């Protein structure tokens, strides 16, 4: 991990270690992957206009999230099925987040339970819930998060149906999983990954146990949750969750200013501008491009965060300059974890932290609180 100097290096390490089908599951997007690429391109279109002759010998990266201090303006985004890349990968990322002093979000489709994460990584924990047709099961998951003292509940609203991920189709990667000559040969090329899976056993999406009484394997559980997405979920249903959940409620997947305004009015505590990392609606606008409109609509009523395409510390600075309160990290820490477990996740956060500090110093900015829109030039053409 000391030879990994960037998130791109961690991605390359993950690609070397994992079978193609598993790597592409984490790395890929929907259809032509236009939105996946657009998320990165949006950051690259912005340029800094730095100030000089500033005392930047001491840099403060601290910020407040929900009125509590955090070490950096970052949190871990919910990432599902990490254990298929590295045994205990979910716990590894959670521990790395706690050590770095930032919040961690547990996905409904994680390969570690709500309770196991709370025991292994006591810190600022958020739980992300997919909206299921089985409302009693959904309510039990949310209640488990409350009992385990999770600080916030995150509702993902951009997944009424799953996106069309063609890399998975080409790799014969599906749920429930089926063995074909193509993917068996693919797995055989990565004996280290195979040994980990065989010695530790195939991971289970622990939060979904009991969703379908017939779902006994990890792959059939994943298939069950896919069949159980509730495409009828609407604002009235969200209001019921808001009324029942006693703590902070975060709405993830907001892209349109009108939706942001309505979410603020109904009592959501934070918004995440997200297009699911380009894994859902291909052709959707890049999250960084959607951010200013959502920030304007929120009108300082709630914090607005952004995810999608964050690979550098400078990306964090750009997001804050455009009005974000912070960023959520998905693939960045995921690549680290599936490369080398907790050490890999820690390395990802170390890289981003040092890049963040260096970028602020080179821009002549002493703290994240001092970042303003004046730090960026106008948007350049792609």
Active site residues: 276
Query: How far is Cα 129 from Cα 153, in angstroms, rounded to an integer?
Result: 7
H/E segment holding residue 262: helix 257-265
Paired tokens of 256: 């349109």
Residues 6+ apart with CB under 8 A from 60: 366, 367, 368, 369
Query: How far is Cα 67 from Cα 347, in angstroms, rounded to an integer?
Result: 28
Paired tokens of 64: 């407040």
> Cβ distance 227 to 132 under 8 Å?
no
Helices 287-298/257-265 angle, 10° precision: 40
Paired tokens of 329: 């990290």
Q: φ, ψ for residue 255 (rounded to 5)?
A: -130, -30
């Amino acid at each position: 991990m000391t030879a990994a100097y960037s998130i791109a290096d961690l991605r390359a390490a993950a690609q070397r270690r994992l079978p193609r089908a598993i790597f592409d599951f984490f790395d890929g997007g929907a259809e032509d992957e236009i939105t996946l690429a657009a998320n990165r391109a949006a950051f690259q279109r912005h340029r800094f206009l730095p100030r000089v002759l500033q005392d930047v010998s001491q840099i403060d990266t601290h910020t407040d999230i929900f009125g509590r201090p955090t070490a950096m303006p970052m949190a871990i985004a919910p990432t599902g099925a990490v254990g298929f890349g590295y045994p205990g990968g979910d716990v590894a990322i959670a521990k790395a987040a706690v050590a770095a002093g930032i919040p961690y979000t547990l996905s409904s489709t994680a390969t570690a339970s709500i309770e196991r994460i709370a025991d292994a990584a006591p810190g600022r924990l958020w739980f992300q819930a997919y909206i299921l047709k089985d409302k009693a099961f959904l309510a039990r998951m949310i209640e488990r998060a409350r009992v385990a003292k999770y600080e916030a509940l995150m509702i993902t609203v951009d997944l009424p149906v799953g996106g069309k991920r063609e890399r998975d189709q080409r790799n014969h990667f599906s749920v429930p999983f089926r063995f074909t000559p193509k993917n068996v040969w693919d797995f055989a090329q990565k004996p280290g990954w195979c040994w980990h899976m065989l010695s530790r056993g195939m991971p289970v999406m622990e939060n979904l146990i009991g969703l379908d009484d017939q779902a006994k394997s990890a792959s059939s559980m994943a298939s069950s949750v896919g069949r159980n997405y509730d495409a009828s979920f609407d604002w009235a249903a969200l209001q019921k969750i808001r009324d029942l959940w006693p703590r902070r409620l975060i709405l993830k997947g907001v892209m349109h200013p009108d939706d942001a305004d309505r979410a603020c009015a109904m009592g959501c505590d934070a918004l995440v501008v997200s297009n699911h990392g380009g894994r859902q609606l291909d052709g959707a606008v890049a999250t960084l491009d959607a951010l200013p409109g959502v920030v304007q609509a929120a009108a300082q009523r709630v914090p607005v965060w952004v995810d999608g395409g964050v690979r550098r510390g400078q990306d964090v600075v750009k997001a804050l300059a455009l009005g974000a309160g912070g960023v959520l990290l998905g693939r960045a820490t995921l690549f680290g974890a599936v490369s080398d477990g907790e050490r890999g996740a820690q390395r990802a956060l170390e890289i981003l932290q040092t890049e963040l500090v260096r970028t602020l110093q080179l821009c002549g900015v002493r703290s994240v609180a001092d970042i303003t829109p004046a730090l960026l030039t106008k948007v350049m053409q792609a």
